[in-house]
Chain A
Amino acid sequence: MSVERRTFWNAWAEGRLLLQRCASCGTARFYPKPFCPSCGAAAHEWVAAEGGGEIHSWTAVHRRSGHVPAMVVLVTLDEGVRVLGVLDGAGEPGIGERVRLAPRRAASGPIRFARAALQA
């Protein structure tokens, strides 16, 4: 596993989603990578995503009849990066709906979200 990937999963297991912010041009990036796709610089700092985001698109994935379909969401985090994850809870979401990261303190994926309106 790459150094960057290990850093990411270690933090994810503690309930934080880490992004990398380029030390040279300031661009936030995800997935974890050794250099910035905007400017090529390697220097970066790890920043924990604040947790908020907005549904850019979604699809209910049906595998077997009778099973509850998985709600797969493409979310634009407030930091500007897109994340593919799973939305917890029942019902169909809407594009533009606010969601929050819902970490499960797992050692691997998927990245989970909950509907912001149903929290707090």
Chain B
Amino acid sequence: MAGEAYRGALLLGAGESDLGVFPERTTLDLQVQAAQRALADARVELRAIDGIFVSKSGELRPGDSPAVELAEAFGVRPRHVDTTLAGGAAPVIQIARAAAAITAGLCSYALVAYGSTQASRRLRRDEGWATDPDSDAVAFERPTGYRHPISVHALIARRHMHEFGTTSEQLASVALSDRAWAQRNPAALRRAPLTVDAVLASPVISSPLHVLDCCLVTDGAAAVVLGPGASAAGPAVEIAGFAERHSHMSIVHAESLTTSLAADTGSRAFAMAGFTPRDVDAVQIYDAFTDMPIVLLEDLGFCRKGEGGPFVESGATLPGGGLPMNTQGGGLSHCHPGMYGLFLAVEAVRQLRRTAGERQLERASRVLCHAVGGGGFGSHATLILAAVA
């Protein structure tokens, strides 16, 4: 039972651009490539697209209209555009925005795209992207020498260790889980075997996080196509549940470092869907740093509070485990072009449409995606997708 706001739309297809570092290609090039692949997957004609949803991250400049830019590149004239900004959560939020717009009759076929060339353009500098001297981040936080956003998650990881006894080995097990899945995904950028010792031996960036506790920094783009009904492309996907919640941009305003608003978005999304975490076949959890899935799996109800470390360490999220997680390899091994949210949904669509190749799950009828943004769990989006029978 889909939520009223979203029940008039289906996800029809998904695609990714080439992934890696491409000094001779633009963000727009990569978005176009991902969109063309998603349209082909969905068997939807470009001319049918009348809604375009594009977020942006490090490259965003005043005056930018990334959705209109993509419309211009494709030569289409959408009657509905959206450029929601909520950090890495934005593209997942935009899938719900697109479904709501289709349900409301504001557009019929929607393209949700995200891309970045942050790696080849070297946009990911130590001080992060904050440049506005009026912002609290520039005035008060950047002078500490912290590395944004790594240090924010280092603070969260340290606090989680203190409160619940979480270990560096357990954090590393998140990276191992992602790597095990990446080995089954030819598009993933890091596929060599990984060990806990290798993670712990990698240089510390912001303690307790090592280099290998941190996501890749890559170029790349992703896209998802939605429409008002099934296409010729075979199995489609519906939004069974969705919820978002936002609270802060700075970690100093986080009510708790170790319990996030994912507890709220998760319970609301499950209430909309009419089922529970036990009924989910796989999860796609935002994993820019290894602390994130540990906290989020707890808050979403896949294990008890404080037991995220032992849960992942037990192997539950590995191939063959009870809760496959980040089956494309996640931000730690697949790719990470600044905002990973849309890649979570692309993999969920592939699993649900049974186009995931070597890593295709036997049981894949319900997949939960959870994306976050902001300064340490400041924005949350839980999207529960289900295969349409």
Contact = CB atoms under 8 A, between A and B. Distances in A.
Nearest to A5: B139
Contacts of B141: 84, 109
Interface in B150-192: 151, 154-156, 158-159, 162
The 10 closest A-B pairs by CB, nearest first: A109-B143, A59-B154, A70-B145, A110-B143, A82-B252, A57-B159, A57-B155, A110-B144, A60-B207, A95-B162
A95 B147 CA distance: 20
B146 to A, nearest CB: 5
B140 A109 contact: yes
Nearest to A37: B253
A72 B77 CA distance: 49
A63 B145 contact: yes
Question: Number of contact residues on B: which range applies?
Answer: 20 to 34
B18 interface: no
B257 interface: yes
Interface of A: 1-2, 5, 30-31, 56-63, 65, 69-70, 72, 74, 81-86, 95, 108-111
A95 B164 CA distance: 13
B74 to A, nearest CB: 42
A60 B206 contact: yes
Nearest to B252: A82
Contacts of B147: 61, 63
B251 interface: yes
Interface of B: 126, 133-134, 136, 139-141, 143-147, 151, 154-156, 158-159, 162, 203-209, 250-254, 257
A61 B145 contact: yes
B252 A57 contact: no
B159 A60 contact: no
Contacts of B126: 63
A64 B139 CA distance: 23
Contacts of A81: 252
A85 B206 contact: no
A2 B134 CA distance: 8
Contacts of A70: 144-146
Given A31-B140, A110-B143, A82 B151 contact: no
B140 A58 contact: no
Given A84-B141, A110-B144, A110-B145, 4 more contacts: A59-B158, A61-B147, A61-B206, A70-B144
Contacts of B207: 59-62, 69
